[in-house]
Structure 1
């Protein structure tokens, strides 16, 4: 059995409450979750207080706590991981914003390769709100933004996950970024 199918089967077993499947799943998904966290945290300053390992552990704990989730396959798992990563980073940004309270803020460009939670928590929260707003009228584009920006997935990985062509994901990414730019400049 190849790794993709092995993970899919473990996810299904774990969804059914199989404790051994939970234990066997972690080492198989850990490296991919770590890669996602690494990509995300590379956008941060070197001495950032949120560390890659802690982020991976938080995401995994959040994911395995989803006892009501019927994992369809590994792609579904990683899509949910992207959502969990977003939630954790947004929660972190909210805490940072609460600590700093007030002061003028500078707009930052919406780029998937740049985010500094310590200095731009408010902008991250604004982006989070915009992704939610985008989802109300175009769910797929919001998922593309979430997976691309928050988990650093490639266009090809997103296309596989959403079961669409890479050209479709490219178009969605371009349109979603344009919409977000317009919303940010209002």
Structure 2
């Protein structure tokens, strides 16, 4: 996969015949594999009976990422690492955009709702707000700990395994594991 990926990028940037189509096929295949991994995780976590909505959401996300990548600038892509980072950031940005939109709609709808204590309804348990908080924390982490932030984006938004992350970042598997453990702890502290 890594060689096909890098070769497709090189041929596409060199302007080889049919390179654009091959590049798009490689991208889409990679995104479908990520979606498949995500579906398996969802099935384990939520059970098969709740999978239909997650499948539709995952497929929509794959299509949205594919469109975003096609519309964006991919001139700086030179290898699989650059692409994996682009996909991770695209997934992250799409999820955050959806969360912002959803939170905004809820805020507009709930502005007049008052609970029995005459205060606005607590949205602290809202998944959209949690995702927005996580996004802000990852952005803050990028300033001081860029590699650890990259490992988190690749793992959770890119769907990569620790071994794949280590290969992409040219670090050992144990370093990738330590980066993920550090990032989880840092984020947990930041978000608590």
TM normalised by structure 2 equals: 0.78
Determine helix, strand or coil for the equivalent of 1:153.
Answer: coil
Q: RMSD of the TM alignment (CA)?
A: 2.4
Residue by residue over 1:101-159, the C-alpha shift from the partner in whole angstroms, topping out at 9 and shown as x without a partner, is: 1531345xxxxxxxxxxx50000000000000000001000001111111221100100
Which residue in the other structure is 2:150 paired with?
143
1:158 has 2:165 as partner? yes
Q: How does 1:4-153 map to 2 (within 5 A)?
A: 4-15=2-13, 20-40=18-38, 42=42, 46=51, 47-48=53-54, 51-67=57-73, 69-101=75-107, 102=110, 103-107=121-125, 119-153=126-160
Name the stretch that deviates more: 120-129 or 8-17.
8-17
Q: 8 Å contact 1:145–1:173 — kept in the other structure?
A: yes
TM normalised by structure 1 equals: 0.80
Measure, in 2, the Cα distance between the counterparts of 1:142 and 1:84: 15
Classify 1:94/1:48 alpha carbon distance in 2 versus 1 (closer, same or farther; 3 Å).
farther
Residue by residue over 1:52-76, the C-alpha shift from the partner in whole angstroms, topping out at 9 and shown as x without a partner, is: 2221121122223333532121232
- For structure 2, the residue ranges without an aligned partner over 5 or more in a row are 111-120
- For structure 1, the residue ranges without an aligned partner over 5 or more in a row are 108-118
Q: Which has the higher contact order (CA 8 A, sep 6+)?
A: 1
Measure, in 2, the Cα distance between the counterparts of 1:159 and 1:25: 24
Measure, in 2, the Cα distance between the counterparts of 1:89 and 1:36: 15
Measure, in 1, the Cα distance between the counterparts of 2:178 and 2:67: 34
Q: 8 Å contact 2:88–2:153 — kept in the other structure?
A: yes
Q: 8 Å contact 1:22–1:64 — kept in the other structure?
A: no
Q: How many pairs were matched up? A: 172
